[in-house]
Amino acid sequence: MPISLSHGWMSLTPGIMVCVLSVSTFAQQPRSPQLPAPPPMRFISPDERSQLTAAKDPKSRIRTTIDLAGGRLTRTEELTSEKKFAAASEELGGYLGLIDNVRAFLVGMNRDKGSTRDLYRHLEIHLRAHIPRLAVIRRTTPAEYQGNIRAAEEYVREAREEALDSFYGHSVLREDPGGAKKPEGSKDSPEGSRRP
């Protein structure tokens, strides 16, 4: 008994449908999460380095570094708003390089001098203004770059804390590892804590 051609296609149709549906469901599987962008390379351009070495005194060097870092951060904001995230990451690396440089410069100075504390104060005031700007950049950036900007935010916070610590160097009570504060002249023996 001969089988018609249409009957043969009808018997193959369920097999073809199963193959098509399995391929389409495989294509709809969630993709593996996208890898984060590499961290920005911290650097100072030769032009910026020449401007920093041309500064005559520490105050002008700090001011020049802060101005250059502010310019880098502004360009990072502009590139982020233009959706050029790779270029923005590069500018962020230049910004972090300048902050590294100013921190290293200030660490080499005597913290007990009033002029050094003034330099730290100047740096702290500007870094305080940079932290919210970095937060705005982070919120408008895709997830793959957000980790780098969050790390930059934390780094700037640490730099600001370092600047604030220079004001209070020896006069603030520090917590011991157990979490309890002890004055510097306290005695641990019970005789020292009794009153006559």
Which tens digits make up the pLDDT trace of 23-69? 555 555 555 566 777 888 888 999 999 999 999 899 999 999 999 99
Q: Which helix (H) or strand (E) holds 98?
A: helix 85-107
Angle at 154 between CA 153 and CA 160, to 5 degrees: 90
Percent share of the chain, pLDDT over 70: 68
Please report whether residue 133 resides in a domain.
Answer: yes
Q: Are 109 and 141 spatial neighbours (Cβ–Cβ below 8 Å)?
A: no
Look up the domain containing 89 and give its range. Answer: 46-168
Q: Which range among 57-66, 129-138, 150-159, 160-169 shows the weakest confidence by mean pLDDT?
A: 160-169
Using 50, 70 and 90 to split pLDDT, how confident is the model at 147?
Answer: very high
Question: How many domains does the chain fold into?
Answer: 1
Angle at 15 between CA 10 and CA 18, to 5 degrees: 130
* Nearest by Cα to 43 from 93, 106, 102: 93
pLDDT tens-digit profile of 14-23? 667 666 666 5
Please report whether residue 60 resides in a domain.
Answer: yes
Please report whether residue 141 resides in a domain.
Answer: yes
Which single residue is written with the structure tokens 């070495």?
A: 53
Give the C-alpha separation, 167 to 114, whole Å.
Answer: 9
Give the C-alpha separation, 152 to 164, whole Å.
Answer: 18
Please report whether residue 192 resides in a domain.
Answer: no
**If DSSP codes are grouped into helix, strand and coil, which group holds residue 56?**
coil
Please report whether residue 61 resides in a domain.
Answer: yes
Please report whether residue 162 resides in a domain.
Answer: yes
Using 50, 70 and 90 to split pLDDT, how confident is the model at 109?
Answer: confident
Predicted model pTM: 0.69
